Amino acid sequence: MHDAQARVLVLDDFSAIVEELLTLMSLHGIPGMGASNLGEAVTVLERSPEISVIACDLRLDRESGLDIVSRVREHPELRTRHFEYLFITGDQMRPEMVSGTSCYMILTKPVQPQELIRMIRKLLASEAPA
């Protein structure tokens, strides 16, 4: 799903989840785009300068969702942009799993739809001009 005015990137290796979350966001007036892996996510970010929030599953097929942060930081163009991150996980949160993630919002599955929308709106608001 491509939206020229997308503000949120949804990254999950299950396409049905991506579509479900994009539909939920759309119903709440939040435009978004989806990706199923880190490479695709970087491509979407390169082509969508309006995206400022990345909502990402922590466990992707053979990748860690946390790696999107380093991919952005190492990218010559993306590293100049500011992104807010929201990580979603089905794992019980253990300290060793989330080491270094204290500056990111984390939701545990099953995610309540209203909580997800609230968190995304909060992250989008943090990007609003002062």
Grouped pLDDT means (10 residues each) for the chain, 130 residues: 78 96 97 98 97 95 92 97 93 56 80 96 78
The answer to whether residue 28 is domain-embedded is yes
pLDDT at position 90 is: 83
The answer to whether residue 77 is domain-embedded is yes
The answer to whether residue 3 is domain-embedded is no
Q: What is the CATH number of the domain that holds 55?
A: 3.40.50.2300
Our count of domains for the chain comes to: 1
The tally of CA atoms less than 13 A away on the side-chain side of residue 59 is 8
**pTM value > 0.95:** no
Which domain does 12 fall in, by range?
8-125
The count of other CB atoms within 10 Å of the CB of residue 32 is 25
